[in-house]
A = this chain, B = another copy of it.
Amino acid sequence: MPQFLDHADPDFETRFTALLTAKREDSPDVDATVADIIADVRARGDAAVIALTQKFDRITLTPDTLRISADEVAQAIEEVSAEDRAALELAADRIRAYHARQMPEDAQWTDAAGATLGWRWTPVSAAGLYVPGGLASYPSSVLMNAIPAKVAGVGRLAITVPTPDGVINPLVLLAAQLAGVDEIYRIGGAQAVAALAYGTDTIAPVDKITGPGNAFVAAAKRRVFGKVGIDMIAGPSEILVIADGDNDPDWIALDLLSQAEHDESAQSLLITTDADFGRAVADAVNTRLETLERRAIAGASWRDFGAILTVPDLDTAVALSDRIAPEHLELCVADPVALSDKITHAGAIFLGQWTPEAIGDYIGGPNHVLPTARSARFSSGLSVMDFVKRTTLAQMTPDALRAIGPGAARLAASESLEAHGLSVTARLRKLNG
């Protein structure tokens, strides 16, 4: 059974704080192993990657077969049904249309002092996308990571996807093709991250690595950070539904379960102004858990981390929501837009009862890679911005330097940085004769 919390209860604050700070995931400490793997790949390149792939994925590769060839891709994609292809194409088109609007604009202006200032955005030259193998090999994740990179203008986009025992998901290959991925390597784990970061004879290094993965992949990304850029290290998924009593309990139950079925560490929370509705949702969850395919996982998540919170009004719900800073926030209330305007911290908001969170996982358009573990307080979901970088620009004229140069020289003197000041005053001396 999940927890029931009533805002009116005297122990509410204590229990809510406990809910907020509950440690849901015990990451195994694999850092030493990962350090060894990275060192091995740096030292031996392809040979290390091939040996580690033999060991972990039980397949024998050569430098020539590290990469999945265009023929193999074409052949695998033939297996995809027309319906699956149409759905992936629709998703790719919608994700591309959404992210195309995120391209930031260059700027340039000349100010009153005569200084021309501005900035310019350029794409990362090469990016690598880690795609998990096995159960968590989600074609939707390929679209969500690869499309923003290509919209940003990344010239070279490589994917690594492990193929344990040689098994590969044709939908992952189709998603990569639809997204415009340039290279696909059948490798995984820390060795794949190391190969992308440092390069081998066969795999050219990239500048940025994104994508989800297990503890080894996460530890490897942390270790190569600095050598390359990385995206966030995602924690287990979360959903918060704020609902009034005027909802179908089964719909809300399914929304909660669609996070719970991801992972035993996932967290599904309901805040409602209607205690009876809250109980009805709990009942609906239990009914669905009787038959759900992933009931073992979803049941454990719901039992250990699920909660239903009753509040006196929606303003209280907003205040609690901002403390939770949820990855996904569903607003199933009469006026969801008005309520969303009051929310400050959330990765993604789904407005109204016709917008189940699963729409956002696949096909809505916004990215499904979102900040977890309360990090929506300070970070954002994956976007085109993760694949571009800004160069600032400044150009002084003699007049501009005359106008603001003395101030710079003064500040340099106050910081005892003489050469800084001299680099300005030497020029001013020329200007002033």
Residue of B nearest to A209 (CB): B378
| Docked-complex contact B97 and A348, CB < 8 angstroms | no
* Residues in B neighbouring A124, C-beta threshold 8 A: 377-378
| Docked-complex contact B354 and A415, CB < 8 angstroms | no
> In the complex, how many residues of chain A place their beta carbon closer than 8 angstroms to a beta carbon of chain B?
123
| Docked-complex contact B366 and A392, CB < 8 angstroms | yes
Interface flags for A176-191 (1: CB within 8 Å of B; 0: not) read: 0000000000000000
CB distance from A350 to the nearest CB of B (A): 6
Q: Does A345 contact B (CB under 8 A)?
A: yes
Interface flags for A394-433 (1: CB within 8 Å of B; 0: not) read: 1111101100111110111011111111111011001000
| Docked-complex contact B171 and A408, CB < 8 angstroms | no
Residue of B nearest to A387 (CB): B378
Answer whether A419 and B254 are a contact pair too, CB < 8 Å, given A87-B407, A408-B362: yes
Residue of B nearest to A80 (CB): B414
Answer whether A420 and B229 are a contact pair too, CB < 8 Å, given A354-B398, A389-B378, A392-B349: no
Q: Does A244 contact B (CB under 8 A)?
A: no
CB distance from A366 to the nearest CB of B (A): 4
The one of B87, B98, B233, B379 in contact with A411, judged by C-beta atoms closer than 8 angstroms, is B87
Interface flags for A339-353 (1: CB within 8 Å of B; 0: not) read: 010011111111111
- Of A40-48, A55-63, A286-294, the one with at least 4 CB within 8 A of chain B: A286-294
The one of B208, B250, B391, B405 in contact with A426, judged by C-beta atoms closer than 8 angstroms, is B250
| Docked-complex contact B107 and A358, CB < 8 angstroms | no
- Of A11-19, A255-263, A272-280, A304-312, the one with at least 4 CB within 8 A of chain B: A255-263
Residue of B nearest to A377 (CB): B207
| Docked-complex contact B171 and A88, CB < 8 angstroms | no
Interface residues of A in 326-377 (CB under 8 A from B): 336-337, 340, 343-367, 370-371, 373, 375-377
* Residues in B neighbouring A376, C-beta threshold 8 A: 389, 391
The one of B117, B125, B352, B356 in contact with A423, judged by C-beta atoms closer than 8 angstroms, is B356
| Docked-complex contact A390 and B394, CB < 8 angstroms | no
* Residues in B neighbouring A337, C-beta threshold 8 A: 395
Number of copies: 2
Q: Does A298 contact B (CB under 8 A)?
A: yes
CB distance from A269 to the nearest CB of B (A): 16
* Residues in B neighbouring A226, C-beta threshold 8 A: 233, 373, 375
Q: Does A381 contact B (CB under 8 A)?
A: yes
Answer whether A378 and B208 are a contact pair too, CB < 8 Å, given A346-B391, A419-B258, A423-B254: yes
**19 other contacts beyond A358-B423, A380-B389, with CB at 8 A cut-off?**
A90-B404, A94-B113, A117-B365, A226-B233, A228-B378, A229-B377, A258-B423, A337-B395, A345-B391, A357-B423, A359-B408, A360-B394, A361-B420, A362-B411, A362-B420, A363-B408, A365-B394, A366-B394, A385-B385
Residues of A within 8 A of B (CB): 83-84, 86-88, 90-91, 94, 97-98, 101, 104, 107, 109, 111, 113, 115-117, 119, 122, 124-125, 135, 138-140, 171, 207-208, 226, 228-229, 233, 248, 250-251, 254-255, 257-258, 260-262, 288, 292-294, 298, 336-337, 340, 343-367, 370-371, 373, 375-381, 383, 385, 389-398, 400-401, 404-408, 410-412, 414-424, 426-427, 430
Which 7 pairs from chain A and chain B are nearest by CB? Answer: A229-B378, A351-B395, A366-B392, A254-B423, A87-B410, A257-B419, A380-B390
